[in-house]
Copies of this chain bind each other. A is one copy, B any other.
Amino acid sequence: MAFEFTLLDHPGDGNARLGRIVTPHGTIDTPAFAPVGTQGTVKALDPRDLHDLGVQILLSNTYHLYLRPGADLVAAMGGLHRFMAWDGPILTDSGGFQLFSLAARRRVDEEGVTFRSHIDGSLHRFTPEMVMRVQEQLGADIIMCLDECSEPLDRTYNEASLRRTHAWAARCQAAQTRSDQALFGIVQGGVFADLRQESARFLRALDFAGYAVGGLSVGESKQAMYEVLDVTAPLLPRHKPRYLMGVGAPDDLVEGVARGIDLFDCVLPTRLARNAAVFTRQGRLNLRNARFSTDPGPIEASCDCYCCSHFSRAYLRHLFRAEELLGYRLATIHNVRFLLHLMDDIRAAISDGCLAQFRASFLACYRSFGEQPELS
């Protein structure tokens, strides 16, 4: 089945949208959150877990899979879905964000990016055409244009960078050969409203299957991020899905949806979990905290996940202190379930025409305990 995005009727709730994405590997109810399986596995979880948790789409990283085990190998094994035994929708990014993170280990020119592997220092080069070929080998349902993810606050750099990102988007589109993958363009432009607007208009003219907002949650303030969404989202085509890349803090999901975003991905729930930090409606907890040593209750009594229905905070604290693998797994199960449950609630609120009320009450409660600084 081809890629399709449908907006569902709802009473109207500002800019928030209720929709459905159909892909060759299944349907995604939007707004949706995609957990990240960087190296072809969502860390600590197996595909059965993902289904049990209600995951409808996951993200995997082109940069990482290209380096190890290699796109040729994944293709020879029947593509990424078969290789990792996940039969639901997959989105692969283009590597743009990872190349940005490599900092001194990469050099950008008009044609592409030359970089050294974080694994063994070997030299590689990504061009728009190369990245399209790799993503076609991996075979995800949604694939991304190569973009340059630049310092969000540097105006001059963003101007030059945006020209490249736009040229690369056109080249990616021209290089696409598979018709069963939906290619999304990525709006860049740092925190600068006019650049974001220019980018949205430019990419819109290319008529992509969907539109991502990239280069956010990389050092700018939350307020700056929300302002970028405020100016960008209205310029994106109404009947195409809108994807906010790399954002997954609970409050950001609510704020993003309220500004018209349909899809999110982030390593936050899985990375936090491996550091013993877990989400609750009252903010984040760290399970290593001594006050949980004799706590017989679950992370969150209202949560329906396997972790919360079977294990106490005292047991989880023990697992983290003893560095037991089960601790990482159970906390990951909870954090992913928490975000998916939040997305369920958000969709229900949009459907009921009461997102504004949900947003106010959720944020008041979640921020009441003061969130810990994000781990990056």
Contacts and interface: CB of A to CB of B under 8 A. Distances in A.
Given A40-B315, A41-B326, A69 B321 contact: yes
A48 B305 CA distance: 13
User: On chain A, which size bracket covers the interface?
Assistant: 35 or more
A308 to B, nearest CB: 11
A46 B306 contact: yes
Contact of A73 (B48, B77, B314): B314
Interface of A: 39-41, 43-48, 68-69, 73, 76-78, 83-85, 293-294, 296, 306, 310-312, 314-315, 317-319, 321-322, 324-326, 328-330
Given A294-B73, A318-B69, A329-B329, A324 B83 contact: no
Contacts of A326: 41, 43-46
A314 B69 contact: yes
Contacts of A330: 46
Contacts of A45: 326
Given A44-B329, A83-B312, 19 more contacts: A41-B324, A41-B325, A43-B325, A43-B326, A44-B325, A44-B326, A46-B306, A46-B326, A68-B318, A68-B322, A69-B293, A69-B317, A69-B321, A76-B294, A77-B296, A77-B312, A83-B314, A83-B315, A325-B328
